[in-house]
């Protein structure tokens, strides 16, 4: 694990673990859920091993894996590794992929079974790259869940052009995937989306009570 990480990737590995711990501390990785990855300089990907508490993640818990799924070294990568790899193969500009589970993203993906969620009028829309104002409309695609990562990857590929401007998508009843050119940008996108999703869930609850 840590011994398999190239010396020039140690700082990035530490940054990815710090990011995972940040979201875990906010309750977004319950029951060892969530997974985090970054593209390495040699074309491989560093991804979290399966079944670990993300609140205590360290570089020793990251596994180097090739884009074709070949694991270098020992360990068991996340069950959702295939979806991360599909994103990296689809867009060479993606440098990090982050996946978490929150009450807001899980419920909103199920209420009314939407194929897309729309957001407008929120200042936090500016957290998503390419959105300079609250005046535009942000669209977050929702994919049906599957335990088969090939099925999910195929569904994502069909809607990637829709997901790309959002730098993310939801999996129904499951969680959100967000990405960026590097770990810091992916983290900003994920923070922004989680804030927007929490606002939207609260808005719907308030409207129901009024």
- Tens-digit pLDDT profile for residues 138-151: 999 999 999 999 99
Looking at residues 86-107, what average pLDDT do you find?
A: 97
What is the pTM assigned to this prediction?
0.95
Long-range contacts of the stretch 103-106 (C-beta < 8 A, 24+):
103/201, 104/194, 104/197, 104/198, 104/200, 104/201, 105/170, 105/175, 105/176, 105/193, 105/194, 105/197, 106/173, 106/174, 106/175
* pLDDT number for residue 1: 45
- Count of C-beta atoms within a 10 Å radius of residue 145: 16
pLDDT tier at 8, thresholds 50, 70, 90: confident
Q: Is the dihedral of CA 158, 112, 132, 184 positive or negative?
A: negative
Show me where the domains of the chain are located: 2-209
| CA–CA dist 143, 159 (Å, integer) | 9
Residues 6+ apart with CB under 8 A from 53: 24, 32
| CA–CA dist 177, 127 (Å, integer) | 15
- Lookup: tokens for 115: 């194929």
| CA–CA dist 181, 153 (Å, integer) | 20
Q: What is the pLDDT of residues 197-207, one digit of tens each?
A: 999 999 999 98
The CATH classification of domain 2-209, taken from the options 3.30.300.30, 3.40.50.720, 3.40.225.10, 3.40.980.10: 3.40.225.10
Tell whether residue 101 is among the known ligand binding residues.
yes
DSSP 8-class letter at 113: -
- Cα dihedral 58, 46, 92, 156, rounded to 10, equals -90
Q: What percent of the chain has pLDDT over 90?
A: 86
Looking at residues 149-160, what average pLDDT do you find?
A: 94
- Whether the pLDDT of residue 210 is over 80: the answer is no
């Amino acid at each position: 694990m840590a011994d398999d990480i190239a010396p020039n990737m140690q700082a990035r590995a530490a940054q990815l673990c710090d990011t995972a711990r940040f979201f875990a501390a906010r309750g977004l990785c319950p029951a060892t859920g969530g997974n985090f990855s970054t593209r390495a300089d040699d074309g491989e990907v560093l991804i979290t091993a399966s079944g670990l508490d993300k609140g205590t993640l360290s570089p020793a818990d990251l596994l180097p894996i090739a884009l074709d799924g070949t694991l270098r070294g020992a360990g068991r990568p996340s069950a959702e590794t295939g979806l991360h790899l599909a994103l990296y193969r689809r867009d060479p500009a993606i440098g990090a992929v982050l996946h978490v589970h929150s009450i807001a993203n899980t419920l909103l993906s199920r209420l009314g079974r939407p194929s897309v969620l729309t957001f407008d009028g929120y200042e936090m829309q500016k957290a998503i790259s390419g959105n300079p104002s609250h005046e535009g409309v942000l669209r977050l695609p929702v994919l049906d869940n599957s335990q088969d990562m090939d099925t999910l990857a195929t569904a994502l590929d069909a809607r990637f052009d829709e997901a790309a401007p959002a730098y993310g998508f939801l999996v129904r009843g499951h969680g959100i995937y967000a990405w960026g050119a590097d770990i810091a940008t992916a983290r900003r996108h994920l923070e922004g989306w989680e804030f927007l999703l929490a606002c939207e869930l609260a808005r719907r609850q308030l409207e129901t009570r009024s």
